[in-house]
């Protein structure tokens, strides 16, 4: 049997990711985990929900990513009066040679990188229009369905503190995000570095390190990273341990309303594959799954009221699930 | 063999090396724990073969651990997984091993990467050779405890030794009974050996051998002796006495002197002599006939056996009336009764030999039972004495059992039953129980020395021949005189002489009661 050659050298994917991270680091101070999560989401072909207070560089991150990847970039500021047609486009009447006809005018979703800023401020109708595009990667206006450009990456942001006048994303829609990353407040040292970089005469200009073809090839290579059965079983055990009816963990039974969905397992395994590539490996390790467990699962573990009352977060529960799930036992 | 196979082999040998030492320690621990358990158990329970149990447990422990070692040896995938985890190889080896037969787009680079990483790592480090200190200390502690307990004296050893002595004493007693059986069989012609006697001895032998202890074995002897005594004809002493009186009376007559000597020799010879005399009555002078008639009449008057008395009386009357023929007939009948007496005496000798055998066995068992009781008393640390009872009334065999830890056994003899000696025991109180035997019981002692023959120089016995026996009441007075003379001639305290005297006095009183 002749071995099937990958379309892209796995080593090249590692180099691409490393160069992308290096390039972004020229503009983004700190936030290495956030950048790593973004790169993983990009190579995995998913979408990402960023949660953090304003001013932490979420928009800068997405814009910088567009520059570094030579991809088209669009930013949509979600507001309560934003309509679906405002993002997916609409048919307008145009008169040409004395004849009136409808012509489709594409919305901002028709870009490779879309920043859905403060996505929870739009009405559910508009949110669902975005989320349909995220899932199907197509947009239907009237009777015509149009494919979105590839690669297509939505980075949605939401503010965790200003909840008045917002429409929190329902569970089914949250599940469509590959990762949910928390944007932490920078350290004092990072703050100073941000001030140094952004208050001078010149702002660093990023160079493109990859194009859409390279990204698509990397996405294909990532899916070919093998995962051993016992590692896959461990991923399954992690997912099962988040379900209150199927876990042995008392805290999960007490605080979790719904556990992670099968999409959570898909995200966990795929993110593990990408991380393995980024680490220069050609197989998924337990460590990969553990490393991506938080961004892959935190928005898929839905907590009870008691968790909020006891100040228990999804991340704390995921930590316990990871800690208490024995790798050797899970692997049988 | 691919390189991955080489990695697996190296890991397998590393695992074998590592686990062998560990499992060897497990085996040593298991063996030591087994020995310790047996040693501890042997201190609470009398284990007959504790060293054998200990010895058997050691190879079993090693074999069990070896089987467990083989059964739980890791498979190839397990080896790879363990190496991944312990060597930080990030599941490279296990994934490559799992996909070793596949040719996917990344399998080749995956295998290469895994082998490169494995080559840079010392694979044996995945299975380090070493022992857990806790288990080592535990093994040492168990081994030291086991050796210490083995070396320390075990309180159960005394009990085990006593059991062994008990079994030996029972076997010896059973052998003594068997020897009595053989002696009886050898001493008598096959046709004259009473099968009932042999059966009683056989049963007694089996019960003695199978009894749980000497005390229980002793309880089988008296019933056997009673059965034997029931086989004895109660008229035998009366006939023997009649025959003796007849011999005494005939000795003074001219015609019956030869018959008298024959009667003194044995009843059968006497019977032949009486027949001979009966056939020659016609040749006797009238004076001799009258003299003979008178002797027969006197013997008839002294006779204690009614049948013999009747025969003697008829013969005497016939002779006195001159009816020689009738006298000869009566004397033939008397000769037949003497033959019967001879048979009865032979039977009684077999019974006596059997009883002697049982008594010898009783002595052996009683000695061991006394030793057991003394041992129990000594171990209790306080002495007490249990006094066995004495047979009361008439003659009897008494077996006394002391309650508490004392016990004793005794046999009442002849006219004065004497109780057995009580066993020594701790604060034991002996309660004797004597079973009064029939007044017809006769106890025999070795026969008095033949006149002219030294007591210390007895006639040698022929093979299978038993010691000749004499009825007790015929010798007790001679024994008493000898004992009293010896006591008078010896330098012993006066109180001891009184003790001897009172002993024979008490025997005389009991004998008078019979």
Mean pLDDT of the region B315-322: 88
Between B454 and B19, residue with greater pLDDT: B19
* Most confidently predicted of A50-59, B58-67, B147-156, B298-307: B58-67
A225 to chain B: nearest residue by CA? B106
List, for residues B423-482, the tens digit of each pLDDT value: 333 333 333 343 433 334 455 555 544 444 444 445 555 555 566 677 777 777 788 888
Quick check: is B25 in a domain?
yes
- B95–A283 C-beta distance less than 8 A: yes
Are B315 and B184 found together in one domain? yes
- B473 or B140, higher pLDDT: B140
Q: Does A327 lie at the interface with B, CB-CB under 8 angstroms?
A: yes
Same domain, residue pair B112 and B202: no
CA A303/CA A313 separation, integer angstroms: 8
Domain limit, last residue, from B139, B154, B169: B154
H-type alpha helices, B304-323? 306-320
A224–chain B Cβ distance below 8 A for any pair: yes
In chain A, residues under CATH classification 1.10.8.80 are 225-330
Instruction: Give one DSSP letter per residue of B429-473, joined into a string.
Output: -EE--EEE--TT---EEEPPPPTTS-TTSPPPPPTTPPPPEEEGG
Q: Do A225 and B107 touch (CB under 8 A)?
A: no
Shortest Cα distance, chain A CAs vs residue B42, angstroms: 43
What pLDDT does B388 receive?
38
Distance from CA of A137 to the nearest CA of B (A): 27
A-B contacts (CB, under 8 Å): 66
The residue written with tokens 């422990």 in the block is B61
Report the range of poorest mean pLDDT among A67-76, A253-262, B86-95, B344-353.
Answer: B344-353
Q: What is the average pLDDT across A186-195?
A: 88
Which of A5, A224, A283 lies closest to B91 in CB terms? A283
pLDDT > 70: percent of chain A: 96
The residue from B134, B154, B174 where one domain ends is B154
For residue B383, the model assigns a pLDDT of 38
In-domain check, residue B394 = no
Residues B208 and B315 in one domain: yes
The answer to the question of residue B392 being in a domain is no
Under 8 Å between Cβ of B357 and B201:
yes
Residues of chain A with CATH 3.40.50.300: 10-216
Tell me which of A228, A272, A291 to substitute to probe the interface with B (most B C-beta atoms closer than 10 Å).
Answer: A228
Shared-domain flag, residues B276 and B170: yes
What was the pLDDT predicted at B442?
A: 52
Distance CA A221, CA A215 (A): 10
In this structure, the dihedral spanned by the alpha carbons of residues A255, A261, A265 and A266, taken in order and rounded to 10 degrees, is -150
Q: Which residues of A touch B106 (CB under 8 A)?
A: 6, 10, 224-226, 282
From chain A, the residues in CB contact with B104 under 8 A are: 3-4, 224, 226
Looking at the predicted structure, is the pLDDT value of residue A277 above 90? yes
Confidence band for B197, pLDDT divided at 50, 70 and 90: confident
Q: Over 80: is that where the pLDDT of A111 sits?
A: yes
| B58 within domain boundaries | yes
Q: How far apart are CA B392 and CA B434, in angstroms?
A: 6
Q: Is B168 inside a domain boundary?
A: yes
pTM assigned to the model: 0.61
| Residue A259 to chain B, least CA–CA distance (Å) | 27
Residues B95 and B166 in one domain: no
Residue A220 confidence class, pLDDT cut points 50, 70, 90: very high
CA distance B92 to chain A (A): 6
pLDDT at B381 over 50: no
Nearest-neighbour CA in chain A from B85: distance (Å): 9
Same domain, B171 and B286: yes
User: Domain end: B377, B392, B426, which one?
Assistant: B377
User: Quick one: closest CA in B to A3, which residue?
Assistant: B103
Domain count, chain B: 3
Inter-chain residue contact A285 with B105, CB threshold 8 Å: no
B98/A2 CB distance under 8 A: no
CA distance B90 to chain A (A): 5
Chain B's closest residue to A2, CA to CA, is B103
Q: How far is B111 from chain A (nearest CA, A)?
A: 9
- State whether B221 and B106 are in the same domain: no
Q: Are A284 and B91 inside 8 Å of each other by CB?
A: yes
Contacts of A286 in chain B (CB under 8 A): 90-91
Q: Look at the domain A225-330 and name its fold.
A: Helicase, Ruva Protein; domain 3 (1.10.8)
Classify residue B309: in a domain, yes or no. Answer: yes
Strands B434-436 and B416-417: unpaired
Q: Do B104 and A331 touch (CB under 8 A)?
A: no
A215 neighbors A42 (Cβ within 8 angstroms): yes
Question: ipTM of the predicted structure?
Answer: 0.86
Cβ within 8 Å of residue A83, ≥6 positions away = A125, A126
Smallest CA–CA separation between B72 and chain A, in Å?
15
Contact A3 B105 (CB under 8 A): yes
Residue of A nearest to B92 (CA): A283
Q: What is the mean pLDDT of chain B?
A: 78
Confidence at residue A173, expressed as pLDDT on a 0 to 100 scale:
86
Residues in chain A with CB shorter than 8 Å from the CB of B99 are 226, 228
Task: Check whether B389 has a pLDDT greater than 60.
Answer: no
Q: Compare all CA atoms of chain A with the CA of B97 and give the residue at the minimum distance.
A: A228
pLDDT computed for residue A7 by the predictor: 56
CB-nearest partner of A4 from B81, B96, B105 = B105
Shortest distance between the Cα of A295 and any Cα of chain B, in A, equals: 21
The label of the residue with tokens 């074995």 reads B217
Contact B81 A331 (CB under 8 A): yes
With contacts defined as CB-CB under 8 Å, which chain A residues touch B114?
283
Cis peptide bond N-terminal to A151, omega within 30:
yes
- If asked whether residues B89 and B229 sit together in one domain, one would say no
Q: Give the integer Cα–Cα distance in Å for B398 and B413.
A: 9
Shared domain check, B175 and B126: no
With an 8 Å Cβ cutoff, are B105 and A327 in contact? no
User: Cα–Cα distances in Å, from B177 out to A53, A190, B353, B446?
Assistant: 111, 111, 10, 19
B62 and B181 assigned to the same domain: no
| Least CB–CB distance from A226: residue in B85, B90, B106 | B106
Task: For residue A239, name the pLDDT band (cuts at 50, 70, 90).
Answer: very high
User: Among all residues of chain A, which has the CA nearest to that of B91?
Assistant: A285
Structure tokens of B339?
């033959």
Cβ of B105 within 8 Å of Cβ of A224? The answer is yes
| Cβ-defined contact of A227 to B103 (cutoff 8 Å) | no
- Asked whether the beta carbons of residue B95 and residue A3 sit closer than 8 angstroms, the reply is no
Asked if the model's pLDDT at residue A64 lies above 80, the reply is: yes
Class of domain A10-216: alpha beta
Please report the pLDDT score of residue B394 as a whole number: 34
φ/ψ bin of A221: left (φ > 0), alpha (ψ from -120 to 50), beta (otherwise): alpha
C-alpha A74, offset from chain centre: 16
For residue B122, the enclosing domain spans 3-154
B368 and B254 co-located in one domain: yes
**Contacts (Cβ under 8 Å, ≥6 apart) of B188:** B346, B350
Q: Are residues B145 and B177 in the same domain?
A: no
Of A230, A227, A237, A232, which Cα lies nearest the Cα of A273? A227
Mean pLDDT (whole number) for A299-313: 94
A286/B103 touch (CB, cutoff 8 Å), yes or no? no
pLDDT value at residue A197 = 81
- Put simply, the answer to whether A285 touches B107 (Cβ < 8 Å) is no
Test A10 with B109 for CB contact under 8 angstroms: yes
């Amino acid at each position: 049997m002749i071995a099937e050659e990958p379309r892209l050298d796995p080593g090249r994917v590692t180099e691409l990711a490393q160069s992308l991270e290096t390039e972004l680091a020229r503009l983004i101070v700190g936030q290495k985990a956030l950048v790593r999560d973004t790169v993983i989401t990009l190579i995995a072909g998913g979408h990402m929900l960023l949660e953090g207070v304003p001013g932490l560089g979420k928009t800068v991150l997405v814009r910088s990513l567009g520059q570094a990847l030579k991809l088209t970039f669009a930013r949509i500021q979600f507001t309560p009066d934003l309509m679906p047609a405002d993002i997916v486009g609409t048919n307008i009447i145009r008169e040409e040679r004395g004849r009136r006809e409808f012509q489709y005018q594409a919305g901002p979703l028709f870009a490779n990188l879309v920043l859905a800023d403060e996505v929870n401020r739009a009405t559910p109708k508009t949110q669902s229009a975005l989320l349909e595009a995220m899932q199907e990667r197509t947009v239907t206006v009237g009777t015509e369905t149009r494919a979105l450009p590839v690669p297509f990456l939505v980075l949605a942001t939401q503010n965790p503190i200003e909840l008045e006048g917002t429409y929190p994303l329902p569970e089914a829609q949250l599940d469509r995000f590959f990762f949910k990353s928390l944007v932490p407040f920078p350290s004092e040292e990072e703050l100073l570095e941000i001030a140094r970089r952004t208050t001078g005469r010149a702002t660093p200009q990023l160079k493109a390190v990859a194009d859409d073809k390279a990204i698509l090839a990397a996405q294909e290579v990532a899916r070919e990273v093998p995962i051993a059965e016992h590692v896959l079983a461990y991923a399954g055990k992690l997912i099962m341990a988040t379900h209150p009816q199927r876990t042995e963990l008392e805290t999960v039974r007490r605080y979790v309303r719904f556990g992670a969905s099968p999409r959570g397992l898909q995200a966990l395994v795929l993110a593990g594959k990408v991380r393995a590539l980024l680490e220069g490996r050609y197989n998924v390790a337990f460590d990969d799954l553990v490393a991506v467990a938080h961004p892959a699962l935190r928005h898929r573990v839905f907590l009870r009221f008691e968790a909020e009352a006891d100040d228990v977060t999804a991340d704390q529960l995921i930590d316990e699930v990871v800690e208490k799930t024995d790798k050797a036992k899970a692997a049988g | 063999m691919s390189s991955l196979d080489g990695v697996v082999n190296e890991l397998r040998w590393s695992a074998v090396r590592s686990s062998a030492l560990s499992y060897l320690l497990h085996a040593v621990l298991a063996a030591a724990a087994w020995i310790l358990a047996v040693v501890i158990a042997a201190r609470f329970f009398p284990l007959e073969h504790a060293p054998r149990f200990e010895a058997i447990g050691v190879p079993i422990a090693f074999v069990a651990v070896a089987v467990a070692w083989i059964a739980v040896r890791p498979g190839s995938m397990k080896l790879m997984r363990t190496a991944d985890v312990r060597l930080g190889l990030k599941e490279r080896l296990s994934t490559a091993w799992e996909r070793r037969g596949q040719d996917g787009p990344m399998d080749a680079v995956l295998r290469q990467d895994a082998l490169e990483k494995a080559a840079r790592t010392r694979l044996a480090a995945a299975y380090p050779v070493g022992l857990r200190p806790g288990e080592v200390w535990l093994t040492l502690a168990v081994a030291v405890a086991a050796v210490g307990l083995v070396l320390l004296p075990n309180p159960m050893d005394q009990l085990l030794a006593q059991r062994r002595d008990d079994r030996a004493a029972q076997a010896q007693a059973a052998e003594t009974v068997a020897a009595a059986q053989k002696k009886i069989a050898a001493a008598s012609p096959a046709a004259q050996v009473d099968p009932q006697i042999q059966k009683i001895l056989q049963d007694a032998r089996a019960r003695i051998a199978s009894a749980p202890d000497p005390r229980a074995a002793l309880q089988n002897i008296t019933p056997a002796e009673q059965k034997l005594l029931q086989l004895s004809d109660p008229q035998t002493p009366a006939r023997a006495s009649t025959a003796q009186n007849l011999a005494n009376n005939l000795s003074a007559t001219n015609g019956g002197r030869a018959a008298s000597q024959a009667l003194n020799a044995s009843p059968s010879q006497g019977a032949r002599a009486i027949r001979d005399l009966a056939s020659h009555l016609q040749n006797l002078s009238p004076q001799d006939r009258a003299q003979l008639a008178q002797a027969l009449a006197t013997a008839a008057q002294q006779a204690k056996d009614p049948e013999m008395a009747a025969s003697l009386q008829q013969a005497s009357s016939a002779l006195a009336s001159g009816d020689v023929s009738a006298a000869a007939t009566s004397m033939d009948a008397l000769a037949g009764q003497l033959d019967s007496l001879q048979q009865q005496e032979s039977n009684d000798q077999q019974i006596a030999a059997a009883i002697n055998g049982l008594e010898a066995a009783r002595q052996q068992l009683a000695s061991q039972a006394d030793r057991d009781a003394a041992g129990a008393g000594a171990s209790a640390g306080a002495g007490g004495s249990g006094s066995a009872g004495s047979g009361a009334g008439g003659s009897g065999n008494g077996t006394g059992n002391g309650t508490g830890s004392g016990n004793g056994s005794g046999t009442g003899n002849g006219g004065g039953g004497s109780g057995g000696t009580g066993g020594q025991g701790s604060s034991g109180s002996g309660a004797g129980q004597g079973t009064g035997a029939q007044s017809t019981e006769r106890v025999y002692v070795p026969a008095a020395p033949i006149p002219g023959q030294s007591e210390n120089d007895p006639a040698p016995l022929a093979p299978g021949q038993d010691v000749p026996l004499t009825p007790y009441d015929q010798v007790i007075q001679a024994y008493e005189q000898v004992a009293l003379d010896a006591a008078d001639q010896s330098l012993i305290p006066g109180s001891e002489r009184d003790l001897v005297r009172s002993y024979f006095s008490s025997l005389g009183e009991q004998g008078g009661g019979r």
